[in-house]
Structure 1
């Protein structure tokens, strides 16, 4: 059933969480679940008594290339059979129902999943049917519950969204992407020395054209200019461009002669 251009998804060596869809209703939702799993680096899918049977072509059509996850999906008649080889079972539940059991956020659950798999133990995450979620009997198979902290006025998720939240948290729990970075393409952030060099060039030309002629205001104006460039994470390429701008303004002034009068600079202190 694999489409042309399917992603070359290969599960890593060792244990990773198993996504168990309990009585899913629509094949399209199984397909979009596979897509969400692939986004977050989850590869093992088990299906418990899908309402419309399995396999279904519509699932592959909705998977956007996550075909290998669907190709390898395992089919079970009951939740007990689906989790029989697992050491831990986590159930997703919007509202815990009169049970004494640990309840984690998705982020905390992801950390626990990493720890469990790090011990080479197998863990399953149960997701219930689209309409009502897991039933009490399903939740009785779970030793831990997960509840997403969403808007209490509207916390409804479709099946793939629910899986995506968990898959995302699983992925970022081990991801080393810095929380913030500056995209500089082929240049780099300017050094303080480069900034000082440019400021010297700029101030010389501002003095030459008379912009900084007000002696009492001059230090504050220069300081404000320096703060502006320091704050902006200026790149080396941008500084080269600014050097060119200042040099061209200077040449233009020389070609046409210095104006008899320049505008009085605003108070910038």
Structure 2
């Protein structure tokens, strides 16, 4: 349980850091690419085994790490475009509702037990995420851009599903730190290539403040993935419960922090979502 709580804590910190990026007008992509390398450094220092590119490339899980890293980069860009053209609410709902994919795969592929209490908790969690994240701007979204949230949904869900599959079948428990470090290495490499293309084409100028923001983001960025992997590898907790609780509590805590720290206003639907979220937490707790 401690690993799940730590993953939720660091993921929420990532969201709050990104919120501050908006306040200081940082370039999200530049800062996130820098954060990948900061996370890589932390991973190298944190890993029991020394990080080696040649060793990582020789591992059976390298294809999974590459796939996850590619999905991370693509999904992030789609999230940025969606936030600009359709609003943060559309992006948040698409991203968080993607939990349906790893949960479904966990039940079908890993033959996890399904009972009424667990199904009720998962359904309440999904409804809680939906109503808590929903804002009026959802109704103003240009329907011609439906493919943006759709691909965010698919990309985020597949990334979580592959992460779970890798730790379940390919990554030994004592290599989880090395695996998570490799994710940030590949993300950083892909990100640098994109940055170079933008710089050469004259569409990007590097800034020191983006570097500083990326260094700060890299710390929670690394540990959010590392502790999620640790939670998924715990034999007493099933995939469906881990992903449901993780996404639900991240949204719940983020909304409450937004309410108290940034004076964000909540609608009646948001309060309904918060109530469903609390109920879902109780149900999932007794379902474990």
Structure-1-length-normalised TM-score: 0.24
TM-score, length basis structure 2:
0.22
Higher strand share goes to which structure?
A: 1
> Which structure has the highest helix share of the two?
2
Q: RCO greater where, 1 or 2, for CA within 8 Å and sep 6 or more?
A: 2
